[in-house]
Structure 1
Amino acid sequence: IVRYLETNKYCPMCDVQVHKTRPLLSIRSDKTLQDIVYKLVPGLFKDEMKRRRDFYAAYPLTEVPNGSNEDRGEVLEQEKGALSDDEIVSLSIEFYEGARDRDEKKGPLENGDGDKEKTGVRFLRCPAAMTVMHLAKFLRNKMDVPSKYKVEVLYEDEPLKEYYTLMDIAYIYPWRRNGPLPLKYRVQPACKRLTLATVPAPSEGTNTSGASECESVSDKAPSPATLPATSSSLPSPA
């Protein structure tokens, strides 16, 4: 839009004339769209912050608009909530007991029962590009789960897609990075896939239908040479 206004004096959307001498006066940054772009392009936020720091280090007398830390490039990816593929994510994984069992265990815990319940939680450090499928395979190998069972990973009570990465989970669900990414897992019987019996295709020159063969034989007219010779029943003239 800045390059457009260098040669045009009208808004490209509403065709209203902008300020003649200061065309950039009414321009506002779209924070929502910018955050989406930062999340879609890995490493873009980190590179942008570095470019801003390098610019203001080379031109220290340049005035920073609004004086915000983000404009000066002093905001870290952790503070912004942006993740990169090579970043290490801390997560916690525990067995999913279901909403009913969780509600039954609510209430005052006595004699250190809360510490006993936390013993099933495991903590891992994984790259942000790791998928849910890889995490499920890790749990299967770690616990020696037979192949007839399926390991499913959940966030709270919602099952996660196998192609989700940890970075996708951090963006989709309300995780504020104030602790490990809380995940759960459950083991269920795997659904058996029904296989349809395949009928072999008939080869050329072979007849697969016996009835059609009989019909084709009966439909053919007999050859005169094969008919038996019969004498006429009429008397011969004297």
Structure 2
Amino acid sequence: MTSPRKHLVKDFNHFITCYVCKGYLIKPTTVTECLHTFCKSCIIQHFEDSNDCPKCGIQVHETNPREMLRLDNTLEEIIFKLVPGLREKEQQQEIEFWRSRKWKENGEEDGPRSKRSRLDDDDDGGGGGDGDYHRSDPQIAICLDCLRNSSLVGENVVKGLMKKFIRCSTRVTVGTIKKFLSLKLKLPSSYELDVLCNGEIMGKDHTMEFIYMTRWRLRGETAYPMVLEYRPRIDFG
């Protein structure tokens, strides 16, 4: 009986490497017009200068090609399983990137010796206490606006928030935002909300990062905070 053939990772490189940077696909993002997939950062940067697919040359969108991008989470998981240590390496690089960016924004020049680190070093109470395990997550500023429409059923129930500006992890999903709104607005557990970005209803599994990269159209100084609107659920059935 012959033993099953073992495949090497390089046998699959054609399917799991980026056409632009030639490295393994990181946060693989597919162009819906032609179904070609690239690293998210590679295709986003490419679209700064061109509206065409870098691989086949098809025009993706006349004005905003980013609208035609979709993250492929399934492919990402496959790549992480095929390439040992890739997930951990990328997570560490992402942490270091956001830390360095935060230090620069705070005007600190000494890198890891940040204000928080110095305070920790000066603490004689010993370590090992309860810590904030979410500090390394990339953060995003969001404005939650109530979409006013007198014709909507339930308009008298759904109100605007007293504090509509929040800051959260980019990994937070729309489903979590809905739970947050329901809690703050004291809505019944059976009450459903729609969350929209640029007038488009967002799916409950969409992360803030996904929405910002593929739905939020503003960039530069006007990009922050990202505005999400909410309203009573509309049944189109």
**Alignment TM-score, normalising by the size of structure 2:** 0.38
| Larger gyration radius, structure 1 or structure 2 | 1
**Alignment TM-score, normalising by the size of structure 1:** 0.38
